[in-house]
Amino acid sequence: MAARRIVHAAGDATGAAVLAALANAVAATPSIEVREGLLVAGLVEAGGRIAGVRLADGTVLSARAVVLATGGIGGLYRSATSPRGATGRGLAMAARAGAVLRDMEFVQFHPTAIAVAGDPMPLATEALRGAGAILVDESGRRFMADVPGAELAPRDTVARAIHAEIGAGRRVYLDARASVGAAFPRRFPTVDRLCRAAGLDPVNAPIPVRPAAHYHMGGVKVDGSGRSSLAGLYAVGEVASTGLHGANRLASNSLIEGLVFARAIAEAILGDSAPSLRPRTAAIAEGRDIDAGFDLRALMAPAPG
Ligand SMILES: Cc1cc2nc3c(=O)[nH]c(=O)nc-3n(C[C@H](O)[C@H](O)[C@H](O)COP(=O)(O)OP(=O)(O)OC[C@H]3O[C@@H](n4cnc5c(N)ncnc54)[C@H](O)[C@@H]3O)c2cc1C
Distance 264 CA to ligand 1 centre (A): 19
Residue 102 belongs to a domain with what CATH number?
3.50.50.60
Above 50 in pLDDT, residue 304? Answer: no
Residue 153 pLDDT greater than 50, yes or no: yes
Instruction: Say which residues have a Cβ less than 8 Å from residue 255's Cβ, sequence separation at least 6.
Output: 7, 14, 15, 18
Query: Does residue 90's CB lie within 6 angstroms of at least one atom of ligand 1?
Result: yes
In the reported structure, the alpha carbon of residue 186 is separated from the centroid of ligand 1 by a whole-number distance in angstroms of: 26
Annotated catalytic residue 129? no
Q: Which of 206, 211, 232, 89 is nearest to 139 (CA)?
A: 206
Query: Is the distance from the beta carbon of residue 215 to the nearest atom of ligand 1 less than 6 Å?
Result: yes
pLDDT digits 0-9 by tens, 287-299? 566 655 544 455 4
Pairing of strands 66-68, 233-235: parallel
Cβ–Cβ under 8 Å, residues 235 and 102 = no
- Model pTM? 0.88
| Chain segment 122-144, per-residue pLDDT in tens | 999 988 999 999 999 999 999 99
Decide whether any atom of ligand 1 lies within 6 Å of the 143 Cβ. no
Total number of domains constituting the chain? 2
User: CA–CA separation, 193 vs 195, rounded Å?
Assistant: 5
CA–CA gap between residue 266 and residue 289 (Å, rounded): 25
- Same domain as 235, residue 206: no
Regarding whether 170 and 120 lie in a shared domain, the answer is yes
Task: Kindly tell me if the per-residue pLDDT of 150 is higher than 80.
Answer: yes
The answer, yes or no, to whether any atom of ligand 1 lies below 6 A from the CB of 262, is no
Q: Alpha-carbon distance 283 to 237, whole Å?
A: 27
| Cα dihedral 253/31/269/105 (nearest 10) | 40
Indicate the residue among 165, 189, 213 that finishes a domain.
Answer: 213
Domain C-terminal end among 213, 241, 256: 213
Instruction: Establish whether residue 15 lines the binding site of ligand 1, counting it when its CB lies within 6 angstroms of any ligand atom.
Output: yes
Ligand 1 closest atom vs CA 238: 26
Q: How many CB atoms lie within 10 A of CB 102?
A: 16
80: containing domain: 39-106+217-282+291-300
Give the residue-averaged pLDDT of 40-66. Answer: 92
Q: What is the Cα–Cα distance from 9 to 15, expressed in whole angstroms?
A: 8
pLDDT at 232: 95
The whole-angstrom separation of Cα 60 and Cα 53 is 6
Same structural domain for residues 51 and 101?
yes
Closest ligand 1 atom number to CA of residue 72? 30
**100 and 136 in one domain?**
no
Pick the range with the lowest mean pLDDT from 53-57, 177-181, 212-216.
53-57
Residue 246 domain-assigned (yes or no): yes
Q: Which of 238, 242, 244, 250 to mutate to test the pocket of ligand 1 (most atoms within 8 A of CB)?
A: 238
